[in-house]
Amino acid sequence: MRRNPHTRSSAARRARLMGEMPVLAASLIIIALLTGCAATATTGGSAAPTRSQAATTGTPAAARIFISRHYGYTEALPAGWTGGQATQRWDGTGAPGDEDSTVDLFQGPGGVEAWAIAAPTSENLAAYTRTTIRASAAAHPCPATPQTDQAITIGGAPAQLLSMQCPAGSGFLVELAVTVHDGTAFVFASQNPSGTGSQGADRAAFRTFLASIRF
C-alpha cells in the first residue's frame, strides 16, 4: 500500500519539531532567568530613589514666600498665616485699614490679621512714626498717643512698634509697626477683628510675622 507523500512530509516535520522542543524549552528557561536577573537589578537600582524620597518627605517643607507686588517686601509666611495682594498701590495719604484695596492683607492663627502698606518718603523714622500716629487718629477711633512705643527691627532696619486701644479704653488692641528703608516708609498693622482672641497670643503671632519680613 503506497503512503501519501503529504503524510510522510508531515511526519518529518513533527519529528523535527519534537527534536527542537528541548532546545526551545532550554532557551525559554535561559530567557526567564535573564529576565529575572534584570528585574532584580532594576529593583536594586530603584532602592536609592525610594530612600531619597523618604528623606525628602521627612524634611520640613520650604517656607511659603509672599512677595508684595506693589510694595516690594517679602514675607516668609509663618505657620498658620496666609496672604493676599493689594489690588492697587497706596498713594501715601490717610491710614488704610484691613478692608481697603491698597493693603496686602494677611490672616493669621486665632483670627488675628495683619496688613501692609508702603510709600516713598523723605522723612526719617521718628518723623514718619509721628505722621502714622496722626493719620491713624484722624482716620480711626484711635488715641493720639499710643499706649506703648517700642524700638525693634524689621528686616534688619530700625523700626517702631506701637500698640493702642481703638477706641481708647475699649480693650480692642491695634498694633502698628513702622520702618523706613531706602526712602520708602512701610507700615505693618495688626488686630483681631473678632475682639475675642487672646491679646498675648495675637501679639506673639504679629511679632513672628514681623520677624519674617525682608526688604
pLDDT, mean of residues 177-192:
98
Q: What is the pLDDT of residues 5-57, one digit of tens each?
A: 333 344 444 434 344 444 444 443 444 434 444 344 333 443 333 323 323 23
Q: What is the pLDDT of residues 134-157, one digit of tens each?
A: 999 999 999 999 999 999 999 999
What sign results for the dihedral spanned by CA atoms 124, 129, 132, 137? Answer: negative
C-alpha cell at 75: 514675607
CB 95 within 8 A of CB 131: no
C-alpha cell at 19: 527534536
Q: Where are the domains of the chain?
A: 1-59, 64-214
| CATH architecture of the domain with range 64-214 | 3-Layer(aba) Sandwich (3.40)
Q: What are the residues facing 179 on neighbouring strands?
A: 159, 186
At 14 the pLDDT is: 41
pLDDT, mean of residues 92-107:
97
Average pLDDT over all residues of the chain: 80
Cα–Cα distance, 96 to 135 (Å, whole number): 9
